[in-house]
Amino acid sequence: MTDQIRRSSRSVASCIAEAYRKRQYEAYFTNKVSDSDMENTETQTWLDFALYCKYIECEKHELLMTESIQIGKLLNHMIGHPEKYRRKIAEVNKDT
């Protein structure tokens, strides 16, 4: 279970990194951030299992869930407002 939590929580960050690099493509950006949100939800599910199986204390679960919920809110903002994360034209021209 620990490996699953590590894998899904790390995937949150890697999907955001992929999304950010291709942020000039709104559909791709939104898709990858959505993948990140999915991984965050998976992390929450594993944390629930860990609590129910008594692998972690209630206080630790609450702390980790609070952080994960906050991450989810940020991801949902990114999904709802991809234009705020789009690369600027000058920034694109500088890279080419």
Q: What is the CATH number of the domain that holds 30?
A: 1.20.1440.60
Q: Coil, helix or strand for 46?
A: helix
> d(Cα 2, Cα 44) in Å, to the nearest integer?
12
95 located within any domain: no
In 3D space, the residue among 43, 38, 94 whose CA is nearest the CA of residue 64 turns out to be: 43
Residue 6 C-alpha from the chain's centroid: 13
96 located within any domain: no
Residue 73 C-alpha from the chain's centroid: 10
10 located within any domain: yes
Task: Give the pLDDT confidence score for residue 20 in this predicted structure.
Answer: 94
User: For the chain, how many structural domains are there in total?
Assistant: 1
What would the two tokens of residue 81 be?
Answer: 């407002």
94 located within any domain: no
Task: Give the pLDDT confidence score for residue 26 in this predicted structure.
Answer: 94
> d(Cα 86, Cα 84) in Å, to the nearest integer?
6
Tens place of pLDDT per residue across the chain (96 aa): 889 999 999 999 999 999 999 999 999 999 999 999 999 999 999 999 999 999 999 999 999 999 999 999 999 999 999 999 987 765 655 665
Q: What range defines the domain where residue 65 resides?
A: 2-89
What would the two tokens of residue 89 be?
Answer: 């034209």
Task: Give the pLDDT confidence score for residue 90 in this predicted structure.
Answer: 54
